[in-house]
Amino acid sequence: MSRNALETHLDGLAQKGRAVTLWLRDDDAVLPTPALDRLLSLTEAHAVPLTLAVIPEETGAPLAERLASAPLASVAVHGWSHRSYSAPPAKKQELGLDRPLETVTGELRAGLQKLRQLYPTQLLPMLVPPWNRIAPEIVEQLPALGFTALSVFGREKPAPLAVLNTHVDIMDWHGTHGGKPAEALFGEVLDYLASEKSVPAIGILTHHLVHDAGAWDFLEQLFALTARHPACCWASASDILAV
């Protein structure tokens, strides 16, 4: 029902000459894998730009060589190590104040520099905090470190640099740890479209390394519905931020 309702809503927008923008962010890339190949093939088949949040510490030339043949892929900085330093029962967080501020910002600077060397043409100076969590004090430092954008989860909030968030996470982290039911996800996308409070672009969040059959199936369905629909535009993060 939600898929049909989403399609009906999009058809209505098209009749009014209106369009919505979507963007895709996938987290935790480090190495070339069959799952990454599947994601790249899927996005390329539907001409969907992809922003890969790459973990700098352990990544290197193999991933860069793979992405060199992926013209629709851009790279963002996914923290430094994707290691949590928060003390339980606090939620996992790499970019908090559990360590000296200088230590955290030094790692972020190193991560940006490393990925800039690996991806001279594909890097977007966007920080994607692991677990979508970052202390406000660290956000304040990002422009001085060379970052031009920040991406977390949920509706955008004011910050000292551009913010482009994701809004629909396809994974059921608190339940099955697989993909959420497709109908529920179509409903989430529709909720953002129908909301009176718009967002710059509806961000879809994926994690290719842990996708199950349901997660892949939803992406297939979503792209099939939206990629060529006259009321939809899949855009790269850099193009959205340039608007």
Choice between 242 and 27, residue whose per-residue pLDDT is larger: 27
Given a cut of 70, whether residue 1 has pLDDT beyond it is no
pLDDT band at 37 (very low <50, low <70, confident <90, very high): very high
- Of the candidates 190, 218, 188, 192, the residue with the CA atom closest to the CA atom of residue 206: 218
Token representation of residue 127: 């920080």
Q: Residue 203: CA atoms inside 13 Å, Cβ hemisphere, count?
A: 26
> 188 with 8: CB under 8 angstroms?
no
For residue 61, give every residue at least 6 positions away whose Cβ sits within 8 Å of its Cβ, in sequence order, or none.
Answer: 118
pTM for the full model? 0.97
* pLDDT score of 88: 86
* Exposure string over 223-237, b if 16+ CB within 10 A, otherwise e: bebbbebebbbbbbb
Domains in the chain, please, with CATH? 2-242 (3.20.20.370)
pLDDT band at 197 (very low <50, low <70, confident <90, very high): confident
Q: Could you give the residue ranges of the DSSP H alpha helices within 68-209?
A: 101-118, 136-139, 142-145, 182-194
pLDDT band at 198 (very low <50, low <70, confident <90, very high): confident
- Give the mean pLDDT of 47-73: 98
> 25 with 53: CB under 8 angstroms?
yes
* pLDDT score of 135: 98
Q: Residue 27: CA atoms inside 13 Å, Cβ hemisphere, count?
A: 25
Neighbours of 117 (CB within 10 A): 10
